[in-house]
Chain A
């Protein structure tokens, strides 16, 4: 499922602008409205790093996206808000990280895990796990980090007595199914038959009769 505003960065900026303009939201990371969950685990990722990578974002775009991320983290942490809005804020935050290409920063994964530790909402857990998996992968071209992420989720659940909701279990099952499918190597080398140029057979027996041997001149001995 795509985040609720599929328009990407521009939409994120629009949302941030709209929410910021309303004046009701903090723009400084986790200084959120309402109670804060697990302050250490859910600390806001630092402002450095994640400049959009090969997407070639301008400095202004990067700045605005980071601002949007602050706003979205604020909404996601605000327990006074409805769980659907908080989950949509997490979806949108995930989209912002996708744009910034900053999954590799360890604080990002820590934030997703930190918020996960504080919520029993299935919808919110789902959004956090989708983003958390991407953060676990850290932008690397392999899924090793995602497997490690799920081990961390298991450890967290055991340590905090956190019950994963059906939605969260679905995310895990979906990942496992897709990873199992991706792990199957595809045959790509084609079994192409070599070209064959049929040899041309020349039958010159009729066309190229040898000249007759000259007859010996009469009277010559």
Chain B
């Protein structure tokens, strides 16, 4: 064991070493020390040094105020990274008190303290800190409004919904002319109403929000959420006709085609609940004809159309819609779904179950039948081969225009393929898929290659059995796995006969 004297020496050496570490190298400028502290704060092992540097800087009256203020911020950030919330709050208070005349700094420091206290799970103290800010700057409307909104946000997250709504109201009252503040407050109030299942209240608040002059400048996702939530409230109130009208208006106001398509599908859903199946069908068709620039929701819309016709006993229309659905199906589950729709529609036409089953069996086993051997008694014929695909003039027109404007890259060619698939032209679709794959680069050849086979080639063939040669050809090319033409493993191009 060390004697007390050597322990004291050791202590002195440690203190000296610590001081030496914190002390600036001779002649090091304050800027360089700030820069060093800024970099040191990132690394856990160097964080203590960052803090020592900052302590030195903020206590040095010769350092210019802006650098001292910067040192305070770095110090707070270093403590935050170590999750020393209370220490960080204490430093922020010192920062605030060191610059009492800098209003912008005061606001930033109060917000910092409030955030730190929230991270320390001390919401009441966080709220109190924001109230202190309001008391400190009662005449600054922007600050008062923002502080009230922050308090309302804390209440919302803490499930204190009534207090949230009151606080948001205070924000609106603090600056009645501030439309942006009102929009923020209304959103918080509507959120609180929604969470307490006050559907009527939420509807009224969201309506005010959507009529607010700042609505158009509201960010895309907030607008989307508000519209969906408004529709959801009407749905819960069983005001289906209002819900349909709301989504139709949202669709018209929406510049983004993918988002507009989502509104169409919601409008269709509401129309169905309002027992307006014709409106629902029209809404689904708008997904194609009003928004032909994007194909993201086409399969969903086509599926709804087939389903609706089937449920209404319109088996001819259901058969046509399901035929397109089968062409556009992109995986095994969707092929199965489309095949079932087709079989149900055929069965509905004349109760001929055998014909319906012939469709299912053909999709399941292909032309060679269950034994997978051609020329045997169980070979199958495609029951759909004799049925022409439907033609829908409105869709054709819209797609024609969309193809002209689609662009010139691989994605554009894929989109052209989708327009052909959804209008009953699988051969043209395959041609576009092949073109898209040919154009593609590293980023997209994999997905395009798979679609070219599983969707494009399958739709032309009419079934999905025996796609392996397509995969082998796409991977190796005509020279086969050995890469040498004229050898035994050469492969035939399976796309060629499909494109003739």
Q: Are A191 and B439 in contact (CB under 8 A)?
A: no
Q: Are B413 and A55 in contact (CB under 8 A)?
A: yes
Q: Are B408 and A8 in contact (CB under 8 A)?
A: yes
Q: Are B467 and A139 in contact (CB under 8 A)?
A: no
Closest to B485 in A: A144
Size class of the contact patch on chain B? 35 or more
Give the chain A neighbours of B478 by CB distance below 8 A. 142, 144
Assuming A103-B438, A195-B353, is B332 touching A182 (CB within 8 A)? no
Closest to A55 in B: B408
11 A-B pairs whose Cβ atoms sit less than 8 Å apart in the complex: A9-B407, A9-B408, A130-B441, A134-B440, A138-B438, A178-B446, A182-B475, A183-B472, A189-B335, A189-B366, A195-B357
Contact with B along A165-205 (1 / 0, CB 8 A): 00000010011001101111111111111111100000000
CB distance from B324 to the nearest CB of A (A): 17
Give the chain B neighbours of A174 by CB distance below 8 A. 442
Give the chain A neighbours of B336 by CB distance below 8 A. 190-192
Q: Are B335 and A186 in contact (CB under 8 A)?
A: no
CB distance from A188 to the nearest CB of B (A): 3
Complex CA distance for A179 and B440, rounded to whole angstroms: 13
The residue from B364, B468, B472 contacting A191, defined by CB atoms under 8 A apart: B364
Assuming A8-B408, A98-B441, A151-B483, is B365 touching A189 (CB within 8 A)? yes
For residue A76, CB closer than 8 A to chain B, the reply is: no
For residue A20, CB closer than 8 A to chain B, the reply is: no
The residue from A52, A53, A100, A183 contacting B471, defined by CB atoms under 8 A apart: A183
Give the chain A neighbours of B332 by CB distance below 8 A. 186-190
Q: Are B443 and A1 in contact (CB under 8 A)?
A: yes
Interface centre among A53, A142, A145, A191 (most CB of B within 10 A): A142
CB distance from A140 to the nearest CB of B (A): 6
For residue B273, CB closer than 8 A to chain A, the reply is: no
For residue A148, CB closer than 8 A to chain B, the reply is: yes
Give the chain A neighbours of B404 by CB distance below 8 A. 56
The residue from B356, B409, B458, B479 contacting A188, defined by CB atoms under 8 A apart: B458
CB distance from A67 to the nearest CB of B (A): 15
Instruction: Identify the 5 closest CB pairs spanning chains A and B, nearest first.
Output: A144-B477, A190-B336, A188-B464, A139-B438, A99-B408
For residue B180, CB closer than 8 A to chain A, the reply is: no
Contact with A along B190-212 (1 / 0, CB 8 A): 00000000000000000000000
CB distance from A172 to the nearest CB of B (A): 10
Contact with A along B398-441 (1 / 0, CB 8 A): 00000110111110110010000000000000011011011111
Q: Are B474 and A195 in contact (CB under 8 A)?
A: no
Complex CA distance for A140 and B445, rounded to whole angstroms: 12
Chain A residues numbered 24-68 whose CB sits less than 8 Å from any CB in chain B? 52-57
For residue A119, CB closer than 8 A to chain B, the reply is: no
Chain A residues numbered 81-122 whose CB sits less than 8 Å from any CB in chain B? 94-95, 98-101, 103
Give the chain B neighbours of A131 by CB distance below 8 A. 441
Complex CA distance for A151 and B343, rounded to whole angstroms: 50
Contact with B along A122-136 (1 / 0, CB 8 A): 000000001101100
Complex CA distance for A179 and B472, rounded to whole angstroms: 11
Complex CA distance for A169 and B432, rounded to whole angstroms: 32
The residue from A52, A137, A143, A197 contacting B353, defined by CB atoms under 8 A apart: A197
The residue from A99, A103, A145, A171 contacting B409, defined by CB atoms under 8 A apart: A99
Q: Are A179 and B475 in contact (CB under 8 A)?
A: yes
CB distance from A81 to the nearest CB of B (A): 23
Give the chain A neighbours of B309 by CB distance below 8 A. none
The residue from B412, B445, B464, B493 contacting A55, defined by CB atoms under 8 A apart: B412
Complex CA distance for A138 and B437, rounded to whole angstroms: 10
For residue A2, CB closer than 8 A to chain B, the reply is: yes
Q: Which residue numbers of A lie inside 8 Å of B, CB to CB?
A: 1-2, 8-9, 52-57, 94-95, 98-101, 103, 130-131, 133-134, 137-145, 147-148, 151, 171, 174-175, 178-179, 181-197
Complex CA distance for A187 and B477, rounded to whole angstroms: 21
For residue B224, CB closer than 8 A to chain A, the reply is: no
Complex CA distance for A8 and B407, rounded to whole angstroms: 8
For residue B361, CB closer than 8 A to chain A, the reply is: yes
Q: Are B474 and A101 in contact (CB under 8 A)?
A: no
Q: Are B458 and A184 in contact (CB under 8 A)?
A: no
Q: Are A95 and B409 in contact (CB under 8 A)?
A: yes
Q: Are B467 and A148 in contact (CB under 8 A)?
A: no
For residue B360, CB closer than 8 A to chain A, the reply is: yes
Contact with A along B292-308 (1 / 0, CB 8 A): 00000000000000000
Complex CA distance for A185 and B351, rounded to whole angstroms: 37
Assuming A191-B336, A192-B336, is B495 touching A141 (CB within 8 A)? yes
The residue from B340, B474, B483 contacting A192, defined by CB atoms under 8 A apart: B340
Q: Are B454 and A186 in contact (CB under 8 A)?
A: yes
Closest to A193 in B: B360
The residue from A8, A143, A181 contacting B477, defined by CB atoms under 8 A apart: A143
The residue from B353, B439, B440, B446 contacting A181, defined by CB atoms under 8 A apart: B446
Complex CA distance for A145 and B449, rounded to whole angstroms: 15
Closest to A196 in B: B353
Complex CA distance for A195 and B347, rounded to whole angstroms: 9
Complex CA distance for A14 and B449, rounded to whole angstroms: 31
CB distance from A179 to the nearest CB of B (A): 6
Closest to B338 in A: A190
Closest to A94 in B: B441
Q: A137-B445, A142-B476 are in contact. List 9 more A-B contacts (CB 8 A).
A: A1-B443, A98-B439, A99-B408, A142-B477, A186-B471, A188-B467, A189-B335, A190-B363, A194-B360
Complex CA distance for A101 and B409, rounded to whole angstroms: 9
The residue from B408, B454, B495 contacting A52, defined by CB atoms under 8 A apart: B408
Complex CA distance for A103 and B409, rounded to whole angstroms: 13
Give the chain B neighbours of A100 by CB distance below 8 A. 408
Closest to A102 in B: B439
Q: Are A101 and B435 in contact (CB under 8 A)?
A: yes
For residue B258, CB closer than 8 A to chain A, the reply is: no
Complex CA distance for A137 and B347, rounded to whole angstroms: 47
Give the chain A neighbours of B344 by CB distance below 8 A. 195
Complex CA distance for A8 and B412, rounded to whole angstroms: 10
Complex CA distance for A67 and B437, rounded to whole angstroms: 25
CB distance from A194 to the nearest CB of B (A): 4
Complex CA distance for A118 and B412, rounded to whole angstroms: 34
The residue from A56, A175, A182 contacting B442, defined by CB atoms under 8 A apart: A175
Give the chain B neighbours of A178 by CB distance below 8 A. 442, 445-446
Give the chain B neighbours of A197 by CB distance below 8 A. 347, 351, 353
Closest to B463 in A: A189
Assuming A131-B441, A134-B441, is B409 touching A147 (CB within 8 A)? no
Q: Are A8 and B409 in contact (CB under 8 A)?
A: yes
